[in-house]
Amino acid sequence: MTLRLVLADDSLLFREGLARLLIEAGFEVVAQAGDVAGLMTAVGSHSPDVAVIDIRMPPTHTNEGLLAAAELKKMQSRIGVLVLSQYVETQYALRLIASGEGGLGYLVKERVSDLSDFAMAVRRVGAGELVVDQLVVEQLVARRRQGDSLSALTGREREVLGLMAEGRSNQAICDQLWLGAKTVETHVRSIFSKLELNATPDDHRRVLAVLQYLRS
């Protein structure tokens, strides 16, 4: 199924370039907007599968995209919302997914340079998954690495932890690291045990548990 997208960014050149890349990747861009009002109108008119939103838009260029994401999920809970940021802003990323709802993502704009990774992120958000930029996860892990229980994790377990925090399922971790399913399950159990987190088969709750630990 071809995913239908709405794009919102106040930079015309970035927006048009992103639209072209997404169309080439197999998506249908049904509308574009340069501000939140235009975004809301476009979503109401076209009922897209995913809205791709810049985090800083008029009039204040602060967190309009973040607020718009929350409003869109209230309007249409099924819609996927992927927020793009120019910088790694961990507090915004964590606020975005704090509700535990699926179909939410936060990526740094420079990741758009890798079209295959970006297209996969859009599809994951459209499928109801949580997507957190690896750069955000790396910053959170780096802050906690010294002097706490992260030091008890092996190098491989830290790799798995990072992918868990990005919202990857066990199968996706298997594919990424070329590991067997039982091996990944063992690593996940060990991570939850060492970090004293409650294990859960629910991917959303697992992501939230890991991110809660990393930011605390």
The CATH H-level (homologous superfamily) assignment of domain 136-215 is Response regulator (3.40.50.2300)
User: Is residue 80 over pLDDT 60?
Assistant: yes
Q: Given this chain, do its domains 4-132 and 136-215 carry the same CATH topology?
A: yes
More confident residue, 100 or 112: 112
More confident residue, 90 or 6: 6
**Tens digits of residue pLDDT in 41-73:** 999 999 999 999 999 988 888 889 889 998 998
**Tens digits of residue pLDDT in 146-200:** 556 777 888 898 889 888 888 888 898 999 999 999 999 999 888 888 888 777 6
d(CA 56, CA 50): 18
Domain ranges of the chain: 4-132, 136-215
pLDDT of residue 100: 65
Kindly state the percentage of the chain with pLDDT values over 90: 44
* pTM across the whole model: 0.81
Question: CB 174: neighbour CB atoms within 10 A?
Answer: 17
CATH class of 4-132: alpha beta
